[in-house]
Amino acid sequence: MSRPTFIDVAGRRTRVRVDGDPGAPPILLVHGIGRSMEDWAPQYERLAQSYRTIALDVPGFGFSERTREAITLAVLARGVADTLDTLGETRPVHVVGNSLGGAIAQQLLADQPERVASLALINSAGFGSEVTLLLRMLTMPVLGAMSMRRPTRMSAVLFERTIHANKAVATKERIDHAFAVGSQPGNGAALRETALELGTPRGVKPQWRRDLAAAVTRTPRPTLIMWGSQDRILPAHHIDEAMRVYPHAEVHLLNGVGHMPQIECPERFADLLLPFLVRAND
């Protein structure tokens, strides 16, 4: 198994990890807002047995530098595509996105459909207005700016415990890593900028969701939708809208699971994802 490394992507220092046979079908793992590739760590070993497994820290998050442009969903998707280019991966990839990463995956399909072999949308953004107060606070004029000025370990504890239905998953190691990510220079500003672009104090903005839903219907791909029933970031009833946008999708509601099934129930997650990928390759 490989370790994370840094590469230059369009002049930006970008953190990536690549595992598996370079000739195997490629799979791309895209994390959510304010997060990092470590959200996929429990999946690397199984995926790499059959796939060239690519994970990255999205521009402006984790330990990757942000783009020079203002952050939009299209800019984030282009940053992901540029990373694939730099890695020499020109084949269509199976894109697996969690939370904001699911919206980025859909935007990549909308903007560069030739690059996407299939979609796996895991507790994905883009299907409803409701979102945790912890993210809505970032869009509030005074409170949002104050909260990003100096990240605290307590905020990392709170967010990790909100993400997972099973609080035992919010280990000291995960909390320490979340605090380290949040403390990176510029990450707080990128987090707030993204929140302001996509949301308001009342919730997720509707226009970009409508535009994205209309765009992805033009180029359908095999699609897997998973959602944890106990998601406290993006509520599980958003799965209904996801099924409307992707009527052909394979859908799984995971009882008793929170916002990150790939961490909270890693074996169950892989047992659903891997057969889907086999079918999508046919």
Half-sphere exposure in the Cβ direction for 77 (13 Å, CA): 22
The pLDDT assigned to 192 comes to: 92
Instruction: Give the Cα separation of 215 and 103 in Å (integer).
Output: 12
**What is the average per-residue pLDDT within 193-221?**
97
> What CA–CA distances, in Å, run from 47 to 14, 18, 30?
22, 11, 14
The pLDDT assigned to 6 comes to: 98
The pLDDT assigned to 47 comes to: 98
Residue keyed to tokens 């609080």:
167
Q: Is the pLDDT of residue 152 over 90?
A: no
**What is the average per-residue pLDDT within 157-178?**
95
User: Is 220:248 a contact under the CB 8 Å cutoff?
Assistant: yes
Which of 8, 231, 270, 277 lies closest to 118, judged by CA? 277
The pLDDT assigned to 146 comes to: 72
User: What CATH architecture does domain 5-130+205-281 belong to?
Assistant: 3-Layer(aba) Sandwich (3.40)
pLDDT tens digits, residue range 104-143? 999 999 999 999 999 999 999 999 999 999 899 899 987 7
The pLDDT assigned to 1 comes to: 60
The pLDDT assigned to 141 comes to: 87
User: Is 260:266 a contact under the CB 8 Å cutoff?
Assistant: no
Give the list of residues 6+ apart from residue 237 with CB closer than 8 angstroms, or none: 128
Q: Which has more confidence, 33 or 145?
A: 33
Q: Which has more confidence, 275 or 146?
A: 275
Q: Where are the domains of the chain?
A: 5-130+205-281
The pLDDT assigned to 123 comes to: 99
**What is the average per-residue pLDDT within 64-73?**
96
pLDDT tens digits, residue range 168-192? 999 999 999 999 999 999 998 999 9
pTM greater than 0.75 (yes/no): yes
Q: Is the pLDDT of residue 65 over 70?
A: yes
Give the list of residues 6+ apart from residue 58 with CB closer than 8 angstroms, or none: 30, 31, 64, 76, 79, 80, 100, 101, 104
Instruction: Give the Cα separation of 153 and 146 in Å (integer).
Output: 15
